[in-house]
């Protein structure tokens, strides 16, 4: 994909995340791009650092609506709390914030679905 398109998507995702942090009163939370897990991850949430990450490699793979849904999936982790994992509470939050999270897991790989929660390391 053209580099310019990637940069445009990055800016749009940053702005989307910023709006959502405000909407959910997630003070001091940050959205960042990562290249730590290019093969195994789309995004991940680190509550201890108040950071939601998206893998750079993910951006070229999906269109903006899917990328936004991946971001929302990570927001759901942040809001539901780490103990919720991908359980009932997590899915409830997904529904509330308009994330297809529970279904989306079938469409894209979730970092945690590899059995490795960032907050359990
Ligand atoms: Zn997840």
**Ligand 1 mean position, distance from CA 11 (Å):** 23
* pLDDT 10s digits, 41-96: 788 888 889 999 998 988 988 889 888 988 998 999 999 998 888 888 888 898 89
What is the reported pLDDT for 10?
A: 97
**Ligand 1 mean position, distance from CA 20 (Å):** 17
What is the reported pLDDT for 39?
A: 65
Spatial distance between the Cα atoms of 121 and 88, rounded to a whole number of angstroms: 23
**Ligand 1 mean position, distance from CA 27 (Å):** 21
DSSP state of 1: -
pTM: 0.82
Asked if residue 78 lies in contact with residue 29, where contact means CB atoms within 8 angstroms, the answer is yes
- What are the chain's domains? 3-109 (3.30.2010.10)
Asked if residue 56 lies in contact with residue 38, where contact means CB atoms within 8 angstroms, the answer is yes
**Ligand 1 mean position, distance from CA 5 (Å):** 26
């Amino acid at each position: 994909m053209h580099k310019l398109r990637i940069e445009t998507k990055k800016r749009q995702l940053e702005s989307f995340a910023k709006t959502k942090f405000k909407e959910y009163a997630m003070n001091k939370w940050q959205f960042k791009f990562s290249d730590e897990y290019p093969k195994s991850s789309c995004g991940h949430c680190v509550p201890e650092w108040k950071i939601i990450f998206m893998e750079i490699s993910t951006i070229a793979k999906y269109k903006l609506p899917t990328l936004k849904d991946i971001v929302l999936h990570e927001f759901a982790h942040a809001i539901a709390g780490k103990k919720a994992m991908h359980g009932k509470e997590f899915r409830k939050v997904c529904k509330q914030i308009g994330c297809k999270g529970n279904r989306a897991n079938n469409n894209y790989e979730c970092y945690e679905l590899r059995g490795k929660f960032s907050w359990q390391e």
